Amino acid sequence: MKITQIKVIVCCPGRNFVTIKIITDSGLFGLGDATLNGREMAVAAYLEEHAAPCLVGRDPQEIEDIWQYLYRGVYWRTGAVTMTAIGGIDMALWDIKGKAAGMPLYQLLGGRSRTGVTLYAHASGKNTEETLGEAKKLVEAGFKAIRIQSAIPGLEATYGVIGDMKDYYEMQGNRPLPPEEEWSTQKYFGMVEELFREARHHLGSDVHLLHDVHNRLTPIESARLGKLLEKYNLLFLEDASIAENQESYKVIRQHTTTPLAIGETYNTIWDCKELVQNQLIDYIRMAATHAGGITAMRRIADFAGIYSVKIAPHGAPDLSPICVAAHLHLNTWAPNFGIQEFVGLGSEQCRQIFKQDFQIKNGMAHVSEAPGLGIDFDEEAAKEYPYKRSYLPVSRLEDGTLWHW
């Protein structure tokens, strides 16, 4: 089998997605997601100009060698743009391998470890009451795990909730420059305990609760938060602090038993090595798209498993349905799967373009049994929604200091 063409398609059905289609002389093709939020065209150019020309004519079945060629063979290894390009190509190659074998991807990985993939949904609102109203609806819809976020009184907009502008997920293409949000640790601590106390009171003890701090706290503040929330029994506390200095998580760990999750911006196994090896975290949240595809995720899952760390792949709306499908296969297989973030099936336009056939029932996803990833992409429909430049927000402290978003 030979690769005859690699297409890179950037479309914006409500938000931007970079899709790779690898076409072969056998009639089989594979699909991959290479979306890097706010930097989509950098990956598209990398693929078109630097990666695709080296792969045309190669055997798409040699996934491992192609992975090494694009990773080790490049002097400038790692980095978000390179690893997202590799992630998209790798996914498409596994899609082809599955189709050639006549097997769904999870079978190629080793088969099922579970009947379905437990999902967590998002509840956000402008105050505790609104957030918990959303959470209740999700519980009624069958979800067993909910991420709870609320606006902070006194701050106009912050992570997950942005004033009257709908949330940031839907702002793609609507603003010429990055919007700005505000952060105050003092004000956050003034509301966060009440949010979880009320959540337990109204939702009961069975439902799993999660929370994303989006790197806003310092390690000692995260430690304090973890301690404060211990009695509300969170499934995990996500991105409490930035961990460029992986050692800094020791500060959090030595103070609290609240389980910790991190990793959605990580690109290689090296980014989480110390965190995993020293058991400073409980869930690793890397995504197939940004961490080098199925080939890399499989290694990360096995590495994490040795240290009792579970995988909980990133599932925000900026990962395309192709990545969602890849994660469902990985999660169906991985013995150390934890939970999958899930934000719905995307806009109507999105569902017109990406045709997936996994099933969701009672807060669980059931992977497609079709060969490969089990997803299709309508190129003609995608043409209707061209790329629109857009940015994630930035965050500032009340005195104007630029802070982590």
What, of ligand GCO, Mg ion, none, does residue 392 touch, CB below 5 to 8 Å by kind? ligand GCO
Q: How far is the CB of 68 from Mg ion (least distance, A)?
A: 30
User: Which residue type does 128 have?
Assistant: T
318 forms part of the interface with ligand GCO (CB under 6 A): yes
State how far the Cα of 70 lies from the Cα of 47, in Å rounded to an integer: 11
Radius of gyration (C-alpha) of the chain in whole angstroms: 21
Judged by CB under 6 A, the residue of 1, 155, 191, 392 near ligand GCO is 392
For residue 214, what are its two tokens? 């989006």
For residue 327, what are its two tokens? 């994660």
Q: How far is the CB of 328 from Mg ion (least distance, A)?
A: 19
Which helix (H) or strand (E) covers residue 362, if one does?
Answer: none
Interface pattern 69-108 for Mg ion (x via CB under 5 A):
----------------------------------------
Residue among 128 and 390 whose Cβ is closer to ligand GCO: 390
Q: How far is the CB of 150 from ligand GCO (least distance, A)?
A: 15
Selection from 75, 65, 69, 71 nearest residue 84 by Cα: 71
Q: How far is the CB of 208 from ligand GCO (least distance, A)?
A: 15
Contacts of 90 (CB under 8 A, 6+ apart): 32, 63, 66, 67, 288, 292, 293, 294, 295, 296
Q: How many CB atoms lie within 10 A of CB 133?
A: 13
What are the angstrom distances between the C-alpha of 71 and each of 64, 68, 83, 184, 288?
A: 10, 5, 8, 40, 15
Residue among 66 and 119 whose Cβ is closer to ligand GCO: 119
Judged by CB under 5 A, the residue of 90, 134, 198, 212 near Mg ion is 212
What are the angstrom distances between the C-alpha of 348 and each of 344, 345, 353?
A: 11, 9, 9
318 forms part of the interface with Mg ion (CB under 5 A): no
Residues 123 and 207: beta-carbon distance below 8 Å: no
214 is catalytic: yes
Q: How far is the CB of 221 from ligand GCO (least distance, A)?
A: 18
What, of Mg ion, ligand GCO, none, does residue 318 touch, CB below 5 to 8 Å by kind? ligand GCO
242 forms part of the interface with ligand GCO (CB under 6 A): no
Please, how many CA atoms are within 13 Å of residue 92, restricted to the half-sphere of its CB? Answer: 31
Selection from 381, 356, 393, 365 nearest residue 120 by Cα: 365
Would you call 188 helix, strand, or coil by DSSP? helix
Residue among 97 and 214 whose Cβ is closer to ligand GCO: 214
268 forms part of the interface with ligand GCO (CB under 6 A): no
264 forms part of the interface with ligand GCO (CB under 6 A): yes
30-49 positions binding ligand GCO, by CB under 6 A? 37
**Dihedral sign (CA 7, 12, 15, 16):** positive
Interface pattern 319-358 for ligand GCO (x via CB under 6 A):
----------------------x-----------------
Selection from 337, 375, 271 nearest residue 117 by Cα: 337
Residue among 14 and 60 whose Cβ is closer to ligand GCO: 14
Q: How far is the CB of 287 from ligand GCO (least distance, A)?
A: 9
* Residue among 46, 71, 106, 159 flagged as catalytic: 159
User: Which residue type does 344 have?
Assistant: G
Selection from 38, 37, 51 nearest residue 8 by Cα: 51
* Residue among 122, 211, 214, 327 flagged as catalytic: 214
50 is catalytic: no
Judged by CB under 6 A, the residue of 1, 42, 54, 316 near ligand GCO is 316
For residue 365, what are its two tokens? 């996803």
Q: How far is the CB of 55 from ligand GCO (least distance, A)?
A: 27
Which residues belong to the active site?
159, 214
Q: Which residues are at the interface with ligand GCO (CB under 6 A)?
A: 37, 212, 214, 264, 316, 318, 341, 392
Residues that bind Mg ion (CB under 5 A): 212
